Amino acid sequence: MNGWLEQITTWLVDLVKDVFLAVWDFLGDGIVFVLSSILVPIGGWISGLTPPAFLSSGINIGALLTGLPPFALYLAGQTRITEAMAILGAAVGFHLLRKMVTLGQW
């Protein structure tokens, strides 16, 4: 009969904790549902857009670079300009995405 009050209070604390966690999970699922309901139609709309003509004209950067003289190709390879351009492109993409998500506020 010792510790019965402690057992009851421990059970009540665990019960309240479990209820709180269940409500938290439910709210998280609700947020995911709402965002999914909003973003799926936007994704469908974006995928339905046709790309502009200058993007689909078949410009091949690799074909343009093969016409460079050998020393310029060597210099571009040693300076790792392709990785630099990829990093810059990712930075610009992140910047534009950040501006879109925060509606230009950040």
pLDDT at 55: 67
CA torsion, ordered 19, 24, 26, 28, to nearest 10 deg = -170
Please give the span between the terminal C-alpha atoms of the chain, in angstroms, as a whole number.
62
Q: Which domain holds residue 40?
A: 1-49
Examine residue 104 and state whether it is found in any structural domain, yes or no: yes
Residues 40 and 83 placed together within one structural domain of the fold = no
Residues of the chain with pLDDT under 70: 1, 54-59, 61, 106
Residue listed under structure tokens 């300076």: 79
Condensed to tens digits (0 to 9), the pLDDT of residues 10-28 reads: 999 999 999 999 999 999 9
Residues 45 and 81 placed together within one structural domain of the fold = no
Q: In whole angstroms, what is the distance from residue 55 CA to residue 87 CA?
A: 20
Q: What is the pTM of this model?
A: 0.42
pLDDT at 88: 92
